Structure 1
């Protein structure tokens, strides 16, 4: 598995609805991307979550915009008038992450659009696996594009890596935050999806996805592990969660019963 790499050539505009100031930009391949910057508040950990979450979703057959590594040259952004944006760009030199811009896509509205039970269950299962706390009614992080549901913004996933010392307790977490998932009321096929997704998401597939993480994103202050050791920890975390998926599936089923 590999991701394409392109160079950012034009900063178009900030997307200020995101707390980390993502932006719309154009690259030297002629396409536009929503760029997630390594210099933003949560640094490369948010990019890792975006990359791993997005590629797991893709492996499971869900719609996710193409992810691309985007390189920012040292001189990029020096002429930007907004000091906050200039600082962000200067702090993001090197490899960043871009999501292919879905022109004309609409923000998913759960009041207007009904998602069928199987697809809803697939998204809920994915987010429970990833411990993604950011797919709520307030912020769905989904788009409607060409009459299909597309998943975006997995940067709030894998939050165990913000509490590295206590990470082991998160491995078997039931993920109680699933009660706030925007698609939980429709997720009536969780057991069926669990059986199917456990077959697809093999240890080999997980290892291949984690191996996409650039070593450059894995040098963290206060952490003694090497990039290779950190990739092993991510891989083992995800394998364990898939192996014991009945824990978060039961939690989701219980939370759903309280809603309907």
Structure 2
């Protein structure tokens, strides 16, 4: 196995230098549309341990990229062993949500760890000594979701952001989560890291829950409830700042091309869908979500002020 590389800085959205990170080439569209970074394929060469925290019990693993550079990653499985019976996971659809939200967040300028599709094979599983973990891995041969492990990252947002840049980043995360209906980034479980002076959004497995819900009337908006906003990890540092919660929507309204949405859809492995039609519901919801941006912003303003 090649030497384990030090973690690279997170690539700025739409500005990754080719070869500088394991993320892969950024797909650039003509202005004014946004840029997307499609997921590279990584090969798992070692599964080390179960990471603390996380209801789906993510794993610390080593992967190699297309140039045989090794990287430490957080590995999310298609069929994980959940920590407790009441925890939610939607198998392949949860991995698709992880990937799509990572692509979308990065395109919009939100920091996320470099992400990729990880191929897990029988040979790697045979080297796992812990019997119970090996059994879980055996039912997950094939493509899984992975993102870079950020060594030294601290969990949660600062109690009070000490810079305009930090406040702007927290605002963008709040707007993003309200837009994709991610109620899983709460103060008690922030799924937000502080790393090298930035806030980094992780764990989107339960976002875009439209696939879980029965079909309602056409055009149902699916907005965050006020309780979701008050429980969000950005509520304490941002409340009473009279922020407009519109920065991210200015970006989002630039939009994605039809070709980009097709690229995103085609990048998702066929096994990442728990029920037929899940992915179509998720992508249709996200394609039109920018049309709801005024209501998303006003809902955040009403609760945060």
Q: 1: CA distance between counterparts of 2:211 and 2:223?
A: 17
Note if 1:111 corresponds to 2:159. yes
- Is the contact made by 1:174 and 1:248 (CA closer than 8 Å) also made in structure 2? yes
CA pair 79-119 structure 1, distance change in 2 beyond 3 A: closer
Secondary structure at the aligned position of 2:302 is classed as helix
Secondary structure at the aligned position of 1:178 is classed as helix
Superposed CA offset, 1:29-54 (max 9, x none): 31110001111243111111111111
Secondary structure at the aligned position of 2:296 is classed as helix
Q: 2: CA distance between counterparts of 1:27 and 1:138?
A: 31
User: How many residue pairs align between the two structures?
Assistant: 249
Superposed CA offset, 1:198-246 (max 9, x none): 323335455543443222313x35x3x4xxxx54433221122221122
Residue of structure 2 equivalent to 1:201: 255
- 1:146-157 to 2 correspondences below 5 Å: 146-157=196-207
- Is the contact made by 1:105 and 1:145 (CA closer than 8 Å) also made in structure 2? yes
Superposed CA offset, 1:142-199 (max 9, x none): 1111111111111121122223x33667950121122311113416433431541332
Secondary structure at the aligned position of 2:124 is classed as coil
Residue of structure 1 equivalent to 2:55: 19
Q: 2: CA distance between counterparts of 1:20 and 1:231?
A: 21
Q: In proportion to residue count, which structure has more helix?
A: 1
Which runs of no fewer than 5 residues in structure 2 stay unpaired? 1-26, 28-37, 81-88
Note if 1:215 corresponds to 2:270. yes
CA pair 151-3 structure 1, distance change in 2 beyond 3 A: same
Q: 2: CA distance between counterparts of 1:148 and 1:194?
A: 17
Q: 1: CA distance between counterparts of 2:175 and 2:169?
A: 10
Note if 1:37 corresponds to 2:85. no
Of 148, 159, 173, the match for 1:123? 173
- Is the contact made by 1:129 and 1:245 (CA closer than 8 Å) also made in structure 2? yes
Residue of structure 2 equivalent to 1:184: 235
Residue of structure 2 equivalent to 1:144: 194
Q: 1: CA distance between counterparts of 2:257 and 2:180?
A: 15
RMSD in angstroms over aligned alpha carbons? 2.5
Deviation at 1:94, TM superposition (A): 0.3
Structure 1 stretch displaced more, 100-109 or 62-71: 100-109
Secondary structure at the aligned position of 2:140 is classed as coil
Secondary structure at the aligned position of 2:288 is classed as helix
